[in-house]
Amino acid sequence: MLVEACFITAGKIGLDDRRKQLYEKLKAIGFEIPTIISNSAHVSRYASIGEGTLVGKGATVNAGAIVGRNCIINTGAIIEHNSVIYDDFHIATGIILRGAVTVGENSFICAGSVLIQGVNIQKDTLVGAGTVVVKDIKQSGVYVGNPARRIR
């Protein structure tokens, strides 16, 4: 029996890139990595979800949203219209990305955070649990609070 497809079940903690490394190794070997969308998730037919991405239970991805490859959209997360999420990204449970938010590659948005419409987040950025982002994050790092402030 020849195995042609596999799925990466490892999550992302912080800004590590182990999940990205696994993805790249599996692709180099020739595996197909499917997109998995929970039956209880709502993904608009006008949204785009990249290869190897997981959309978890009760998550919502609205019209015009673009989600890159190898991402995790966790339980109850909401990605509103026209948002763009780059590759190797992890959204934790219960976050809200308002409309037209852009989040750079290899970023991690922790549980319960809210990103206000139109903000842009630099790649390699971690937004801590419960953080409210009200303006663009132009420098990679770790951000916490309401409003978000860089702590490292």
Q: By 3-state DSSP, what share of the chain in percent is helix, strand and coil, each rounded to 5?
A: 10, 30, 65
Q: Which domain holds residue 133?
A: 36-150
Give the chain's domain count. Answer: 1
Instruction: State the pTM of this model.
Output: 0.92
Asked whether residue 10 is domain-assigned, the answer is no
Asked whether residue 79 is domain-assigned, the answer is yes
Asked whether residue 4 is domain-assigned, the answer is no
Asked whether residue 132 is domain-assigned, the answer is yes
Asked whether residue 26 is domain-assigned, the answer is no
Asked whether residue 122 is domain-assigned, the answer is yes
Report d(CA 78, CA 55) in Å as an integer: 10
| CATH number of the domain that residue 56 is part of | 2.160.10.10
Instruction: List pLDDT tens digits, range 16-72.
Output: 888 899 999 999 999 999 999 999 999 999 999 999 999 999 999 999 999 999 999
Instruction: List pLDDT tens digits, range 86-139.
Output: 999 999 999 999 999 999 999 999 999 999 999 999 999 999 999 999 999 999
Asked whether residue 46 is domain-assigned, the answer is yes
Asked whether residue 27 is domain-assigned, the answer is no
Report d(CA 28, CA 30) in Å as an integer: 5
Per the CB < 8 A criterion, the answer to whether 122 and 138 are in contact is: yes
Please report where in the chains the tokens 């999940």 appear, as a residue.
19
pLDDT over 90 at 2, yes or no = no
What amino acid positions are annotated as catalytic residues? 81
